[in-house]
Amino acid sequence: MAGRFAGRAAIVTAGGSGIGAATARRLASDGASVVIADLSGTRAEQVKGEIIGAGGKAVTIKMDAADPEAIQATIKLALDSFGRLDILFNNAGMAEVGLIHETTLESWNRVIAVTLTSTFLGLKYAIPIMRASGGGAVINTASISGIHGDYGMASYNAAKAGVINLTRAAALENAKHKIRVNCVCPGGINTRVVQILGKGRADEFRKNMAAMHPVGRMGEPEEIANTVAFLASDEASFITGASFVVDGGVTAQTGMPPFRS
């Protein structure tokens, strides 16, 4: 398949649904050969089928992104299947709701492991491969929740803030090796997370989230995928260490009500 990523190989973690699935499809449509890594092998296989059906190349692996051995196995699969690794999208993450004084250490550690440590592990094991091959692009999924706080989501806020600064540190360490490291900070995106956080009231949750955005709606996974594809491309060759906010205007406001409609 021809495209701006023709001849390149990519890994997408949490690639079986939502932003990950949309990004895997987008990268493949632009010519990349994609490894779809997801905790759900069934969802990963479904995305793989869609990509292959559209004429692209993809393989899958069932992977826990917080497991160092699983990350290494995923990178090995990319090298064994496609002979290279050019793009890494560290997209795995999770949130658990709870006030700080009520949050268990187990819950805290779980959110940090899946959201922040997974990003560290992806960088740790992919960077030597990219250095040896002459460069690459890494995009990490952060969040506007890493820029501002949320009531009752301290562990997620801390993890996503960590992803943002880890992105900066990795960018500085690897710029001279032609490895660009950036992150994307989505606002509210219409994914299966709506069902999880909505706890049986998904429609109401979605309506409230839409109202929070000045554009009047939640974002769609494909809109984040577009940003990731840009950051992975040569069009972003002078961009590294950046946090790209894609939030429908949420962080542009102070919260003050409008003086006139």
CA–CA gap between residue 66 and residue 79 (Å, rounded): 20
The residue to which tokens 């292959």 are assigned:
52
Count CB neighbours of 151 within 10 A.
8
Query: Is 156 noted as a catalytic residue in this protein?
Result: yes
Backbone dihedral region for residue 257 (phi beyond 0: left; psi -120 to 50: alpha; all else: beta): beta
Q: How far apart are CA 65 and CA 220, in angstroms?
A: 23
DSSP codes, 173-214: HHGGGTEEEEEEEE-SB-STHHHHHHTT-HHHHHHHHHHHST
Q: Distance (Å, rounded) from C-alpha 176 to C-alpha 12?
A: 24
List of E strands, the chain: 9-13, 33-38, 57-62, 87-90, 136-141, 179-186, 243-246
What is the Cα–Cα distance from 12 to 197, expressed in whole angstroms? 23
Q: Which of 125, 156, 205, 244 is catalytic?
A: 156
> What residue type is assigned to position 56 of the chain?
G
Residues involved in catalysis: 156
